[in-house]
């Protein structure tokens, strides 16, 4: 018998499957795959306990490239299937790879219900603000008035802000990261893995074929430092190449201030991802929509709450303890019975 | 043990009859379902064979006294084999004018009619659409009418309880039940025991309902209301332990039993829908069996979760009705590709669309057989009677695991809510459901098939060395990798079909009741069993008639001997509660010029409808 | 020809259909029906322009009882059908009657998409925190650990907070009212009608058969004044029988204070439903979850944004203006054509 | 006007041939679809009849040089009637080893094989799974191999443009196209014009591509690469104005035309899915026609919105493929109950489940006919050729409005992406689609039926005095109020079925190509038309054979004369790209012992497959 992967020290290679990776050259999905393959061996979970579930889309090809258990299901339904897997066996580490269309368009309902239940699955949403696999229609995260294959005169839907939607659904762990900022992405993945409950991670992902440069205003190397606001629990909301800018609470909203270096950092708001009330996280979620603001990345919210799968299995145990060893034959004879002789 | 009621003296001897059909009818708030169930339970305990037909409105509680608010419960109990709730009631209990209006046309000419005269007020008459009171215009002359002041008598009997009138009035169904017990010479103790248990914590109600029951019995006796009373002797049932069981309860138990016998955890993913919800309710009470019930956000999530659970090594089941199946078809298609066990129970109801949600129909056979995109064959089973739901649920699970496939199990509203005495099976006698999860990494290929059944290995997450990926894209033979190869696709489509066809090897040959060859074969499926069986039993044979009844429990694949069976008869009749769906299958498959008897009224066949059609065919042939 | 309803002064009676109302006696749905029938004649819209769309549920029987155009569709899909109706004819006044199961369980996705698009339909969600029509299973708004038909040992899902979900989806008009507080409900309905865009109204509705008294801690006559916090745009957040309590912004959350009557009302927060940033409304949405807090009712958010149907028809007009009168024959001959003779 | 290229002198006379099949194959990034389309357009403009078959991978852009990354485009053009893209190419252009590997087996023995030798590097050979270069191991000896240094030659030709190598390399498809134009004696001007338009704003690319095209042509001429060149004379097509059209484009145009001719606004509710998305794309460009295209959040919302739009008086349409239909069935059931017009276009693809999304199949017929809960009959139409999609889309709209019903229109991936020359129809000649919205309140009942068609009035919101409510619960005859009455239910189920059956009165009788009676009738439907037609035309007749071809465009209801037609032949053959779905219908309906020819490989029949089967049957009969 071959040695279980769990018995050896694992590396990235252990998580590479034998299938050729088939995304367009230059696609942001490669970087995400790389990050996940780097993080998984570090989680202390035997390889055979990982299950990756996906729907349909370029991003949803993800499971094929991971040498773990995987289920490439149907469009939008990964959270439903993942819920069944996790409930059936809570020892498994269940991850979802999904796209902005898969998760937020056809799959929006399953997503918000998984988040409200707080079932312990990790949802990686590859947001490229476009339908990649079907070759370039707008998605629920595409900016309004975008010209795409299906909207030659411009789309008219207002987009979702995914972090806000997740918070509105009651998500206990909500984060945002970027395909090409490996260290940040890996850190967020590790924290998501450590969270016991649903984790929703929006990952900015470049689709260089149908929506190239969608996130350049924030993540391009040249502007990145000044345009991204990294959130660190307990740390002041400060950013910029020289950390010259910060966030303070204005009259009714959050404001950006330039720091003069005179110790005025202490007036800055401190990030608090552990706050039970999701209002602060929600405020930050919308913050990046204003083009004059930096885009927050990192963990918006990370609060503890009993996970759904944990509750389900606790209830099974409790009822069993109360009712004792079951007998099917007794169950059949429950209620009024009589004897014919 | 001699009980209270047995001590009540009887002044006249009882007349013996073979079978009786009673219908209780009243307002939704009148407790008719409860009354019917109590009568049923007493009759069953006495040893009668029986069958029931509850019939309730789509509204939770339509306005009191109106026609749509009428709720009914019919039971046939007998000294011999019973397979339908009876075509036409011998007795109708009508608690208000609306109940009379809705139900009178079904009552047998000369039948016993008991009405609560207190509810025949001008207002209630008007609500029921009567211009004049039928109690006074001689329109009921053709029946043995027994007008009873049920409300007043109940109030009088419960006066000393000190309860408010509204509560007292709610007890009048037990008064009526007591009268029926007298009429059919039944002891009260069964119902008294039930009342004791039910109202253990509400002593006032316990007393009130017991009093009402006794009062009704006593009133019938004392008032010499009926000319005679009757005895329906016990039926000669197989010896053993019996209980009453409805189709939904039996179905739930069958699933639990399959979970136990397979050693798999039963996982139900479901979303409430009439008339399937009770299966969810039942199963949610079996947590000590390790059963997980997941009420999902919708049907798509329900079946998705069930499939996920199967992937992870549970026995995934989903329960619903036609509109819910509509939403599940994409996932069922995925399950045929993933080749994982999955049991889909469709408790059919009247359609199309929302249709007649509380009524019965068997028109989702096509949907089960053909309702998916592309070639996605799925085995389809159907239960024939309420208690048969147990066996067929077990069978559905067995086949799902055996062949690694989704399986449809069809029941319907009539089976779901109807009840019959059931000889409690010894589960140990059922064949165990053998499951072997793949463990060995050596030589493992996710789509390498077992040569006999063609099923693929079940390799559950958590098993070291078996890491693999499945999904909805076409798979390469054996390896299961994604493949767009044209030849591979054709092979896989044919393999999946062949795998299902081979299930025929593990199912019983089709049996025939009645003549094994001859003039006419009546081919049925599902809940029409009772009516066809009764028709066969009760039809007056004409000289030389040779008629058989084949009732299909396996609709795909069909039993291997079915073609032979069909050939042995000159004519084939297929009665269905749809426009001819099995008919279509038999015609296409065997090119037999079968004819249909079709009824789409939200209710079961009567035995007379079947008899009439048989006679028509045979007479046509003769003439 | 009969006189069009629009040509006469209309009354409640004009909006009553000839169908008998078939809810359980005592059901909160009656009060809501009554309120709608009172408000519709006051909106200045001809009767024939009203369309009421519903899904399935007790609440979804609503259209049958209104003498307007109505479509009782299938479970959860009312927003989809209503979207088609409104796009097809933006002159219609389109309303949805839905339940907590219909809107938030099976129909959750259509709901959040309708809200994000800001299509001009009015969604009345009858929240009885239970499945009524199917006789008493828990719903996505049922409190956790509730015992119901399908959860004899207690439900394990965390509920949605519907106002938060709507705000997370980007809704432009979000309100809450109560079945039995007629004046409040009617006022909210009128304001929803006046809003141009999607309106989401959660209505606390008592199901006296399967979930009797679900809202009693807030709406029972005896406690109502002290337990409900009415939101009025521009007014201080003040409540109580003697208006003795108010809301102030605490360190990081909203706090309840008791007023000493010494003019300290001016420290109270003022409600602002018109704020572009939804964060404040979101904060209030969660406020009622704390049992020590009063439950806010009224309009949480009411901001102007072009409606989806308006944008769709403007785009049609613009393209028509740019391209001129269309000819199908010309369209057929577009691209490369050649002559065979 | 004498063009540039016509002036290029030709040194040798061209040989005339009747028909030629060319396949262009290369990496997804090599522009093969574009090249094929250019060749097609030039051939069409010249007056050839033709048919095309694009074939692309499921991935957007699989890794360069790999087998799954190969993209192909086949075109048959001819001097006479053409109905398929050709069974086996006469010419194969292979841009890299992977393209050669995937496509070689289809090339006709002795066929012309052009390969880009520059791409036969060890690395690319390995990616394609070649151990040794096929250019050197004599494995290509059976073909007329023309190794061309395409990359080097293109680079040389474009050297002076100053563009970077990557951009230059992208032009090599035009070099290859130029060579093909020389080989088949075609002028360059059609493609030059296209390049001019396409790159109007990128003059550098305009120049580069034009240069490459000319260079390829010049090279073929100068290098005396081919022994001869050919002329395929124009086909004798009906006089008129022609264009090329793909099925999806024709379908979109048919819908727009129906909107125009009915005076209704066309409302498309859709959700992208391969291979249907292009219909959404096309229609989104018709805003000046008042067409509303709504990209919904999913298929359920898409069809729901379309139905809502129909309720409000638009012509509601939804487009999708099989997995999308799965999600729409519940709403289609509602539409049958609501009796509103709704057109559901299913551009079928390979299944089951996600299956083979970019490949063709016709296995969703059962789903269209039977894939709903309960009895919910829906008319089903199918287009036979790309241009036929126009007519059938128009027909689907006509029937939907005429009978107030949802209608299925089936197309498939092959029709959707394949193209053929199309004589542009005069839309005015099409029968107008008559719509009369109900206006008059007097006597209005929502379900009062038009006596002939049984259709109900279309009474749109906004019409004063017609306020009414519809929904998915069973309706009372005439009034449309909710009704649970058993007899009413049966009447309504039968009425809805009868309404659909009566549509047969408004559709043409089934026509037969070939012999009108005799030995064998080939019954087809959908995209198999081309292959069957070609087989009928090209099969060598044996003495006395009498064979007909009936191609069904109306699958439900079936044409009224179909039974008669079937009876006129001894044998019935039903070729289908599924496991025998129409076959099943014909057997069940007419009890004919029809036999199937079934192929499920994600690609169309070749004409030889049909011919072989016909011969087999007739020989079997003879022997
Ligand atoms: C039921 C169904 N509807 C539609 C599709 C077609 N489809 C496949 S992926 C996709 C959207 C992909 O977009 P996204 O989820 O953003 O993933 P990406 O490709 O951008 O990674 C669509 C519409 C499908 N496969 N199944
Ligand atoms: C597809 C489908 N699934 C399930 C049902 C059954 N069903 C009807 S209403 C309902 C839930 C009703 O709850 P809610 O929306 O809260 O409405 P209420 O009755 O409480 O007003 C369900 C599950 C259905 N009709 N259709
Ligand atoms: S289409 Fe876009 S998202 Fe898809 S693989 Fe290509 S680059 Fe990536
Ligand atoms: S069940 Fe509840 S919600 Fe439904 S009508 Fe009755 S009281 Fe109202
Ligand atoms: Mg995307
Ligand atoms: Mg509810």
| C-alpha atoms less than 13 angstroms from C-alpha of B610 in its C-beta half-sphere | 31
Q: List the domain range (segments joined by +) for residue B606.
A: 513-622
Q: From the CB of residue A341, how many other CB atoms can be counted at a distance below 10 Å?
A: 7
- Regarding whether D404 and D376 lie in a shared domain, the answer is yes
Report CA B120 to chain centroid distance, whole Å. Answer: 34
The phi, psi pair for D406, rounded to 5°, reads: -70, 145
CATH assignment at residue B285: 3.40.50.970
- Regarding whether B385 and B490 lie in a shared domain, the answer is yes
pLDDT for the residue A302: 98
For chain A, report the end-to-end CA distance as a whole number of angstroms.
Answer: 57
For residue B297, give the nearest of C126, D301, C138 by alpha carbon. Answer: C138
D20 falls in which pLDDT band (50, 70, 90)? very high
pLDDT for the residue B269: 98
- Taking each helix axis from N to C terminus, what angle separates B189-198 and B172-183, rounded to the nearest 10 degrees? 160
State whether B273 and C134 contact (CB < 8 Å).
yes
The phi, psi pair for B387, rounded to 5°, reads: -70, -25
- Taking each helix axis from N to C terminus, what angle separates D32-46 and D172-183, rounded to the nearest 10 degrees? 30
State whether D467 and C333 contact (CB < 8 Å).
no
pLDDT digits (tens, 9 = 90+) for D72-115: 999 999 999 899 999 999 999 999 999 999 999 999 999 999 99
Decide: C100 in ligand 2 pocket, CB within 6 A: yes
Say which range, A153-167, B293-307, C264-278, D434-448, has the weakest mean pLDDT: C264-278
Decide: C181 in ligand 2 pocket, CB within 6 A: no
User: Omega of the bond prior to C166 within 30 degrees of 0, cis?
Assistant: no
- Regarding whether B288 and B180 lie in a shared domain, the answer is no
Residue from the list D277, D280, D323 with its beta carbon closest to the beta carbon of A74: D323
pLDDT for the residue B623: 62
pLDDT for the residue A8: 60
Decide: A130 in ligand 3 pocket, CB within 6 A: no
Distance C56 CA to ligand 6 centre (A): 10
Q: How many helices (H) and strands (E) does chain A have?
A: 11, 12
Identify the helix (H) or strand (E) that includes residue B148: strand B144-148
The span from the CA of D187 to the CA of D182, in Å, is: 8
pLDDT digits (tens, 9 = 90+) for B250-291: 999 999 999 999 999 999 999 999 999 999 999 999 999 999
What mean pLDDT is predicted for residues B517-539?
A: 96
User: Omega of the bond prior to B309 within 30 degrees of 0, cis?
Assistant: no
pLDDT digits (tens, 9 = 90+) for D228-278: 889 999 998 899 999 999 999 999 999 999 999 999 999 999 999 999 999
For residue D467, give the nearest of D447, D492, D446 by alpha carbon. Answer: D446
- Regarding whether B120 and B53 lie in a shared domain, the answer is yes
Chain B to chain D Cβ contacts (< 8 Å): 219
The span from the CA of B235 to the CA of B81, in Å, is: 7
The span from the CA of D86 to the CA of B593, in Å, is: 42
Residue D18's SS3 state is coil
Residues of A in contact with C109 (CB under 8 A): 106-109
In this structure, the dihedral spanned by the alpha carbons of residues A252, A254, A255 and A258, taken in order and rounded to 10 degrees, is 140
pLDDT for the residue C8: 60
Residue D238 lies in a domain: no
Q: In a mutational test of the pocket of ligand 4, which residue from B28, B61, B274 has the highest number of ligand atoms less than 8 Å from its CB?
A: B61
Cβ contacts of D491-498, under 8 Å, gap ≥ 24: D493/B579, D493/B600, D493/D375, D494/B600, D495/D449, D495/D454, D496/B352, D496/D336, D496/D339, D496/D375, D496/D376, D496/D377, D497/B579, D497/D375, D497/D377, D498/D454
Residue nearest to atom 8 of ligand 3 (CA): A27
For residue B479, give the nearest of A17, D555, D441 by alpha carbon. Answer: A17
Residue from the list D301, D440, D471 with its beta carbon closest to the beta carbon of C71: D471
- Tell which phi-psi region holds residue D240, choosing left (phi > 0), alpha (psi between -120 and 50) or beta: left
B56 falls in which pLDDT band (50, 70, 90)? confident
Residue B292: burial class (beta carbons within 10 Å; 0-12, 13-18, 19+)? buried
Interface test with C, best of D311, D336, D429 (most C CBs within 10 A): D311
In this structure, the dihedral spanned by the alpha carbons of residues C232, C234, C240 and C241, taken in order and rounded to 10 degrees, is -80
D11 falls in which pLDDT band (50, 70, 90)? low
pLDDT for the residue D601: 97
Residue D239 lies in a domain: no
D270: β partners:
D295, D319
Distance B469 CA to ligand 5 centre (A): 22
For residue D379, give the nearest of D409, D401, D349 by alpha carbon. Answer: D409
State whether C74 and B295 contact (CB < 8 Å).
no
Indicate the number of domains in chain D.
3
Last residue of a domain, one of D507, D533, D558: D507
Last residue of a domain, one of D458, D482, D507: D507
What mean pLDDT is predicted for residues B40-52?
A: 91
Joined together, the tokens standing for residue D431 give: 């029968």
Name the closest residue on chain C to residue D46, using Cα atoms: C338
Residue D223 has pLDDT above 90, yes or no: no
pLDDT for the residue B64: 85
Question: What stretches of chain A show up as alpha helix (H) in DSSP?
Answer: 29-39, 78-88, 100-101, 108-117, 162-168, 182-194, 216-219, 224-227, 279-287, 308-323, 328-332
C6 falls in which pLDDT band (50, 70, 90)? very low
Residue % of chain D over a pLDDT of 90 = 89
- Regarding whether B400 and B253 lie in a shared domain, the answer is yes
Residue A7: burial class (beta carbons within 10 Å; 0-12, 13-18, 19+)? exposed
pLDDT digits (tens, 9 = 90+) for D36-50: 999 999 999 888 999
D621 falls in which pLDDT band (50, 70, 90)? confident
For residue B374, give the nearest of D275, D417, D377, D353 by alpha carbon. Answer: D353
In this complex, is the C-beta atom of C326 within 8 Å of any C-beta atom belonging to chain D?
yes
What mean pLDDT is predicted for residues C147-162?
A: 98
State whether C316 and D238 contact (CB < 8 Å).
no
Residue D167 lies in a domain: yes
- Regarding whether D532 and D470 lie in a shared domain, the answer is no
- Regarding whether B494 and B474 lie in a shared domain, the answer is yes
The span from the CA of B295 to the CA of D268, in Å, is: 34
CA pseudo-torsion sign B176, B177, B181, B184: positive
B10 falls in which pLDDT band (50, 70, 90)? low
- Regarding whether D527 and D493 lie in a shared domain, the answer is no
Last residue of a domain, one of D507, D525, D552: D507
The span from the CA of A150 to the CA of A146, in Å, is: 10
For residue C133, give the nearest of C77, C74, C57 by alpha carbon. Answer: C57
Please answer whether residues B271 and B302 qualify as being in contact, where contact means their C-beta atoms are separated by less than 8 angstroms. Answer: yes
Decide: C128 in ligand 2 pocket, CB within 6 A: yes
Joined together, the tokens standing for residue C52 give: 């009421």
In this structure, the dihedral spanned by the alpha carbons of residues D83, D84, D85 and D90, taken in order and rounded to 10 degrees, is -100
pLDDT digits (tens, 9 = 90+) for B114-140: 999 999 999 999 999 999 999 999 999
In this structure, the dihedral spanned by the alpha carbons of residues D395, D399, D405 and D411, taken in order and rounded to 10 degrees, is -20
Residue D193 lies in a domain: yes
DSSP D9: -
State whether D489 and B591 contact (CB < 8 Å).
no
pLDDT digits (tens, 9 = 90+) for B179-219: 999 999 999 999 999 999 999 999 999 999 999 999 999 99
pTM of the model: 0.95
**Residue-level pLDDT, tens digit, chain A, 341 residues:** 344 444 568 999 999 999 989 899 899 999 999 999 999 999 999 999 999 999 999 999 999 999 999 999 999 999 999 999 999 999 999 999 999 999 999 999 999 999 999 999 999 999 999 999 999 999 999 999 999 999 999 999 999 999 999 999 999 999 999 999 999 999 999 999 999 999 999 999 999 999 999 999 999 999 999 999 999 999 999 999 999 999 998 877 899 999 987 777 888 999 999 999 999 999 999 999 999 999 999 999 999 999 999 999 999 999 999 999 999 999 999 888 888 88
Residue B175 lies in a domain: yes
CATH assignment at residue D199: 3.40.920.10
The phi, psi pair for B80, rounded to 5°, reads: -140, 180
pLDDT for the residue D12: 60
- Tell which phi-psi region holds residue D600, choosing left (phi > 0), alpha (psi between -120 and 50) or beta: beta
Question: Pairing between strand A93-99 and A50-54?
Answer: parallel
Residue from the list B62, B272, B323 with its beta carbon closest to the beta carbon of C134: B272
Average pLDDT of chain B to the nearest whole number: 94
Residue D236 lies in a domain: no
Name the closest residue on chain A to residue B305, using Cα atoms: A84
pLDDT digits (tens, 9 = 90+) for B69-114: 899 999 999 999 899 999 999 999 999 999 999 999 999 999 999 9
ipTM: 0.95
pLDDT digits (tens, 9 = 90+) for A252-274: 789 999 998 777 788 899 999 99
Q: How many helices (H) and strands (E) does chain D have?
A: 21, 23
The span from the CA of D283 to the CA of C225, in Å, is: 56
User: Omega of the bond prior to B386 within 30 degrees of 0, cis?
Assistant: no
Length in residues, chain A:
341
Residue D272 lies in a domain: yes
C42 falls in which pLDDT band (50, 70, 90)? very high
Distance A139 CA to ligand 5 centre (A): 7
Pocket of ligand 4 (CB under 6 A): B 60-61; C 23-24, 27, 29, 58, 128, 132, 207-210
pLDDT for the residue B287: 97
Residue B6 has pLDDT above 60, yes or no: no
Residues of D in contact with C68 (CB under 8 A): 467
Residue D237 lies in a domain: no
- Regarding whether D262 and D222 lie in a shared domain, the answer is no
State whether D441 and C84 contact (CB < 8 Å).
no
pLDDT digits (tens, 9 = 90+) for C193-223: 999 999 999 999 999 999 999 999 999 999 9
For residue B48, give the nearest of B75, B26, B80 by alpha carbon. Answer: B80
Q: In a mutational test of the pocket of ligand 3, which residue from A209, A212, A213 has the highest number of ligand atoms less than 8 Å from its CB?
A: A209
Distance D59 CA to ligand 3 centre (A): 9
Identify the helix (H) or strand (E) that includes residue B396: helix B388-403
The span from the CA of A202 to the CA of A72, in Å, is: 20
pLDDT digits (tens, 9 = 90+) for B541-593: 888 899 999 999 999 999 999 999 999 999 999 999 999 999 999 999 999 99
- Regarding whether B294 and B209 lie in a shared domain, the answer is no
Residues of D in contact with A21 (CB under 8 A): 63
| C-alpha atoms less than 13 angstroms from C-alpha of A240 in its C-beta half-sphere | 15
CATH assignment at residue B536: 3.40.50.920
- Regarding whether D132 and D55 lie in a shared domain, the answer is yes
DSSP annotation string for B64-117:
TTSGGGEEEEEEEEESS---SS-SS-SEEEESSHHHHHHHGGGSPTT-EEEEEG
- Regarding whether D503 and D526 lie in a shared domain, the answer is no
Question: What stretches of chain C show up as alpha helix (H) in DSSP?
Answer: 29-39, 78-88, 100-101, 108-117, 162-168, 182-194, 216-219, 224-227, 279-287, 308-323, 328-332
Please answer whether residues D188 and D5 qualify as being in contact, where contact means their C-beta atoms are separated by less than 8 angstroms. Answer: yes
Joined together, the tokens standing for residue B409 give: 């199990």
CA pseudo-torsion sign B427, B431, B433, B439: positive
D4 falls in which pLDDT band (50, 70, 90)? very low
The span from the CA of C222 to the CA of C225, in Å, is: 8
């Amino acid at each position: 018998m071959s040695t279980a992967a769990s018995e050896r020290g694992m590396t990235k290679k252990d998580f590479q499957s034998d299938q050729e990776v088939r995304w367009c050259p230059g696609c942001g999905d490669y970087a995400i795959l790389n990050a996940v393959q780097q993080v998984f061996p570090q989680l202390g979970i035997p390889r055979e306990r990982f299950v990756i579930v996906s729907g349909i889309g370029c991003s949803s090809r993800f499971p094929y490239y991971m040498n773990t258990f995987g289920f490439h299901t149907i469009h939008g339904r990964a959270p439903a299937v993942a819920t069944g897997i996790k409930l059936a066996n809570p020892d498994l580490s269940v991850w979802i790879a999904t796209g902005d269309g898969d998760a937020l368009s056809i799959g929006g309902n399953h997503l918000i219900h998984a988040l409200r239940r707080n079932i312990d699955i990790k949802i990686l949403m590859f947001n490229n603000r476009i339908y990649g696999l079907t070759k370039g229609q707008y998605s629920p995260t595409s900016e309004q008035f975008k010209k795409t294959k299906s909207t030659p005169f411009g789309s008219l839907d207002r987009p979702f802000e995914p972090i806000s939607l997740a918070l509105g659904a009651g998500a206990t762990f909500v984060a945002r990261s970027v395909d090409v900022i490996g260290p940040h992405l890996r850190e967020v993945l590790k924290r998501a893995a450590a969270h016991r409950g649903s984790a929703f991670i929006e990952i900015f992902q470049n689709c260089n074929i149908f929506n190239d440069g969608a996130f350049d205003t924030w993540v391009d190397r040249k502007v990145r430092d000044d345009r991204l606001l990294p959130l660190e629990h307990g740390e002041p909301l400060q950013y910029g190449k020289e950390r010259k800018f910060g966030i303070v609470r204005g009259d009714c909203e959050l404001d950006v201030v330039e720091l003069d270096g005179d110790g005025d950092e202490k007036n800055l708001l401190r990030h608090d991802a552990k706050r039970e009330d999701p209002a602060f996280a929600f405020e930050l979620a919308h913050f990046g929509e204003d083009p004059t603001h930096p885009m927050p990345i990192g963990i918006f919210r990370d609060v503890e709450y009993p996970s759904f799968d944990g509750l389900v299995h606790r209830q099974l145990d409790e009822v069993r303890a109360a009712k004792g060893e079951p007998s099917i034959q007794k169950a059949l004879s429950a209620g009024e019975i009589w004897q014919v002789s | 043990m001699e009980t209270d009621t047995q001590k009540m003296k009887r002044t006249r001897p009882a007349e013996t009859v073979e079978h009786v059909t009673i219908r209780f009818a009243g307002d939704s708030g009148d407790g008719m379902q409860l009354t019917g169930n109590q009568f049923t339970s007493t009759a069953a305990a006495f040893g009668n064979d029986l069958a029931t037909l509850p019939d309730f409105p789509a509204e939770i509680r339509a306005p009191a006294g109106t026609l749509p608010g009428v709720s009914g419960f019919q039971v046939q109990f007998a000294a011999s084999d019973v397979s339908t709730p009876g075509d036409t009631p011998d007795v109708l209990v009508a608690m208000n004018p609306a109940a009379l209006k809705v139900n009178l046309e079904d009552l047998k000419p000369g039948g016993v009619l008991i009405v609560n005269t207190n509810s025949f007020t001008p207002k209630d008459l008007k609500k029921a659409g009567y211009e004049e009171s039928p109690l006074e215009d001689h329109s009921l002359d053709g029946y043995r009418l027994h007008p009873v002041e049920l409300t007043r008598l109940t109030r009088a009997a419960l006066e000393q309880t000190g309860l408010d009138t509204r509560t007292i009035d709610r007890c009048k169904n037990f008064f009526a039940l007591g009268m029926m017990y007298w009429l059919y010479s039944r002891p009260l103790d069964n119902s008294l025991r039930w009342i004791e248990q039910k109202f253990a914590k509400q002593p006032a109600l316990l007393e009130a309902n017991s009093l009402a029951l006794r009062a009704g019995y006593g009133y019938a006796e004392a008032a010499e209301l009926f000319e005679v009373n009757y005895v329906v002797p016990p039926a000669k049932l197989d010896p053993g332990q019996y209980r009453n069981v409805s189709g939904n309860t039996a179905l739930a138990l069958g699933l639990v039993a399959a979970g136990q016998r397979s050693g798999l955890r039963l996982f139900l993913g479901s979303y409430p829908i009439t008339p399937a919800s009770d299966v969810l309710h039942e199963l949610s009470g079996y947590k000590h069996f390790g059963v997980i019930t997941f009420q999902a956000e919708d049907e798509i999530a329900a079946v998705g979760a069930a499939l996920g659970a199967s992937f992870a090594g549970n026995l995934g089941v989903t329960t619903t009705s036609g509109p819910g199946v509509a939403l599940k078809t994409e996932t069922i298609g995925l399950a045929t590709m993933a080749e994982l066990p999955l049991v889909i129970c469709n408790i059919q109801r009247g359609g199309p669309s929302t249709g007649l949600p509380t009524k019965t129909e068997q028109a989702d056979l096509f949907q089960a057989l053909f309702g998916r995109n592309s070639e996605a064959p799925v085995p389809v089973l159907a239960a024939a009677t309420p208690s048969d739901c147990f066996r067929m649920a077990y069978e559905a699970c067995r086949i799902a695991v055996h062949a690694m496939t989704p399986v449809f199990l069809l029941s319907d509203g009539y089976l779901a809510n109807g009840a019959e005495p059931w000889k409690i099976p010894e589960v140990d006698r059922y064949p165990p459901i053998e499951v072997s999860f793949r463990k060995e990494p050596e030589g493992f290929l996710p789509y390498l098939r077992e040569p006999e059944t063609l099923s693929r290995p079940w390799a559950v997450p958590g098993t070291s060395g078996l890491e693999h990926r499945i999904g909805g894209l076409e798979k390469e033979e054996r390896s299961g990798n994604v493949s767009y190869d044209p030849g591979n696709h054709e092979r896989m489509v044919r393999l999946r079909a062949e795998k299902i066809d081979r299930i025929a090897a593990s199912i019983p040959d089709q049996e025939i009741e009645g003549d094994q060859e001859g003039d006419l074969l009546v081919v049925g499926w599902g809940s029409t069993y009772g009516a066809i069986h009764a028709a066969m039993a009760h039809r007056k044979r004409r000289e030389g008639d040779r008629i058989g009844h084949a009732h299909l429990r396996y609709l795909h694949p069909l039993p291997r001997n079915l073609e032979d069976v069909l050939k042995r008869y000159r004519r084939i009749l297929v009665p269905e509660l749809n426009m001819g769906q099995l008919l279509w299958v038999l015609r296409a498959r065997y090119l037999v010029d079968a004819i249909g008897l079709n009824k789409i009224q939200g209710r079961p066949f009567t035995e007379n409808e079947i008899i009439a059609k048989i006679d028509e065919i045979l007479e046509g042939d003769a003439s």
